[in-house]
């Protein structure tokens, strides 16, 4: 039986359209029932009912349309193993649920005698304020089909969730990520009403495993915008029969099973906050994307490093005590060329981990690059104090001390050939200073040698310094060790 149609402007035009839409729905339904899914989908796609005009058409007609659209796509998805079709089905069902949770606004057009539906309260109030309408009605839209499709959407959610796990186990990471996202969207559907954001978190992590960094960034951005933390309370107890651990959604569920004597040894704990890790992951992704670019693409590389800095600074401001965040941020400063920012961040990390020799060593390296020799020496000394066998710190300290040698040699070369008394005194002073840096440096080189006797570059440097200091015994000893090294 034909339903009463409605209009929002010219009754005849809209009326014909509404009748046409109803006919198209009926034709699509006949094709669907006969098993001609392609034809049914083609007819459905031609029907001019969209989210923009849902509420200006008879809600029952829209409900029938969305129900059929969902059913057609569901069957296509099942028969053709088409995940996109299943997603389309779920979207149609979600729109159906949203529609049937809303209100309809209608009034009788005095001129045409037909009822018209209005998109919202505002449009309805505007119409009723004129002389053109009467017998206004505001009422809840009936549950025409929502109850029927609820179990279908739950089925989709479980299907995609399991498919995500299976694809992950098969190392099909990009496919697994898509399935995790689909599962999340299904659970979020108002017909299911369970927003499991952990699925989105998994989707992002799996995308990284599949080297799909752009997709991971999109998902992480969504998680940060919704302020996802992943913090939840887990309720556990031991199944008395099997002895296995059981997990419960709520304390009430656990207490019920305990009351029935099904479980024992119950406990609960709060999971960790995943949000700091998201900030770190986003920063690391941008760093990675920048590192992969050629040096010729320096502007894009710098853009990625700058994005990494932005998100990591935001994360640090929100979680100032996150040690790993500081390390990632420090590395980013270094990549962007901000060495002072690196040192500042490493000092913040040291405040949290004062016995980490690597932090001091890194400060030493960057301070030396910046010409901050005393700061570098102090940092290397601290690294060696914490880790007495830190050979790289010994070697770098010696290299820093020996860096003055080049300047001394240049000053000696600049002296005139014929020396007066003042110049001779200057020469002797420079030679004495050079011997002093050799003595200081060799002490650190011997420290490295104590823990690494096969480093040929180290041994060669020691040999040269012993020679310059006229320490012939040491010179010959090191020379023999060099000669005894295996040849490449």
Residue 354 lies in a domain: no
Residue 367 lies in a domain: no
Residue 295 lies in a domain: no
Sequence-distant (6+) residues with CB within 8 A of 204 are 177, 215, 216, 219, 220, 223, 278, 281
Same domain, 158 and 130: no
Same domain, 22 and 127: yes
Residue 1 lies in a domain: no
**How many domains is the chain partitioned into structurally?**
4
The model's pLDDT over 307-347, given as tens digits with 9 standing for 90+, comes to 999 999 999 999 998 999 999 999 999 988 899 999 999 99
Residue where one domain finishes, among candidates 115, 144, 173: 144
CA 368 to chain centre: 35
What's residue 18's pLDDT?
61
Give the tokens for residue 259: 């009351």
pLDDT at 191 > cutoff 80: no
Q: Residue 47 in contact with residue 64, Cβ under 8 Å?
A: no
DSSP state of 195: -
Residue 324 lies in a domain: no
Indicate left, alpha or beta for 261 from its phi (over 0: left) and psi (-120 to 50: alpha).
left
Same domain, 41 and 159: no
Confidence tier at 19 by pLDDT (50, 70, 90): low
Give me the chain's average pLDDT, please: 88
**DSSP letters for 220-281:** HHHHHHTT-----EEEEEEETTT--EEEESSHHHHHHHHHTTSEEEEEEEEPPP-HHHHHHH
- Could you tell me which of 338, 337, 223 has the C-alpha nearest to residue 277? 223
Same domain, 15 and 136: yes
Same domain, 139 and 157: no
Same domain, 130 and 175: no
Residue where one domain finishes, among candidates 123, 144, 165: 144
3-state secondary structure of 392: helix
Residue 185 CB neighbour total at 10 angstroms: 19
Q: Residue 18 and residue 7: Cα distance in Å, rounded?
A: 8
Same domain, 136 and 37: yes
What's residue 1's pLDDT?
32
Sequence-distant (6+) residues with CB within 8 A of 7 are 13, 14, 15, 18, 109, 112, 114, 116
What's residue 2's pLDDT?
37
State the pTM of this model: 0.73
CATH number of the domain where residue 486 is located: 1.20.58
Residue where one domain finishes, among candidates 94, 110, 144: 144
What's residue 13's pLDDT?
34
What's residue 21's pLDDT?
78
Same domain, 32 and 105: yes
Q: Residue 16 and residue 51: Cα distance in Å, rounded?
A: 20
User: Domain limits at 193?
Assistant: 153-225
Sequence-distant (6+) residues with CB within 8 A of 222 are 200
pLDDT at 442 > cutoff 90: yes
Q: Residue 459 in contact with residue 481, Cβ under 8 Å?
A: yes
């Amino acid at each position: 039986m034909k339903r009463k149609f409605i209009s929002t402007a010219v009754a005849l035009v809209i009326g014909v359209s509404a009748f046409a839409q109803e006919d198209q729905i009926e034709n699509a339904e006949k094709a669907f029932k006969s098993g001609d899914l392609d034809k049914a989908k083609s007819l459905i796609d031609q029907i001019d009912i969209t989210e923009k005009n849902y509420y200006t058409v008879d809600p029952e007609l829209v409900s029938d349309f969305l129900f059929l659209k969902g059913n057609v796509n569901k069957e296509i998805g099942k028969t053709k193993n088409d995940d996109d079709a299943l997603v389309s089905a779920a979207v149609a069902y979600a729109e159906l649920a949203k529609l049937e949770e809303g209100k309809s606004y209608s009034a009788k057009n005095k001129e045409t005698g037909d009822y018209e539906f209005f998109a919202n309260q505002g449009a309805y109030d505007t119409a009723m304020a004129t002389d053109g309408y009467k017998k206004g009605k505001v009422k809840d839209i009936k549950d025409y089909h929502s109850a029927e499709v609820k179990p279908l959407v739950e089925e989709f959610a479980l299907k995609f969730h399991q498919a995500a796990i299976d694809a992950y186990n098969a190392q099909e990471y990009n496919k697994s990520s898509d399935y995790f996202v689909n599962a999340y969207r299904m659970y979020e559907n108002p017909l299911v009403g369970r927003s499991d954001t952990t699925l989105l978190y998994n989707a992002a992590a799996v995308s990284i495993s599949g080297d799909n960094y752009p997709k991971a960034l999109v998902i992480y951005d969504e998680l940060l915008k919704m302020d996802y933390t992943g913090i939840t309370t887990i309720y556990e107890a031991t199944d008395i029969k099997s002895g296995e651990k059981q997990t419960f959604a709520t304390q009430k569920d656990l207490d019920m099973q305990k009351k029935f004597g099904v479980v024992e040894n119950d406990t609960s704990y709060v999971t960790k906050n995943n949000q700091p890790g998201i900030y770190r992951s986003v920063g690391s992704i941008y760093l990675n994307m920048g590192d992969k670019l050629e040096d010729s693409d320096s502007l894009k590389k710098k853009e990625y490093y700058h994005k990494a800095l932005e998100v990591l600074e935001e994360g640090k401001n929100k979680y100032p005590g996150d040690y790993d965040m500081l390390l990632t941020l420090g590395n980013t400063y270094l990549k962007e060329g901000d060495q002072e920012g690196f040192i500042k961040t490493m000092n913040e990390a040291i405040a949290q981990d004062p016995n980490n020799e690597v932090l001091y060593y890194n400060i030493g390296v960057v301070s030396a690059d910046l010409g901050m020799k005393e700061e570098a020496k102090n940092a290397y000394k601290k690294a060696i104090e914490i880790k007495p066998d830190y050979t790289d710190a010994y070697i770098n300290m010696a290299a820093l001390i020996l860096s003055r040698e080049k300047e001394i040699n240049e000053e000696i070369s600049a002296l005139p050939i014929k020396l007066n008394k003042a110049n001779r005194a200057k020469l002797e002073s420079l030679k004495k200073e050079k011997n002093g840096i050799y003595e200081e440096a060799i002490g650190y080189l011997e420290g490295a040698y104590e823990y690494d006797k096969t480093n040929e570059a180290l041994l060669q440097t020691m040999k040269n310094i012993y020679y310059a200091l006229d320490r012939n015994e040491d010179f010959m000893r090191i020379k023999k060790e060099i000669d005894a090294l295996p040849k490449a």
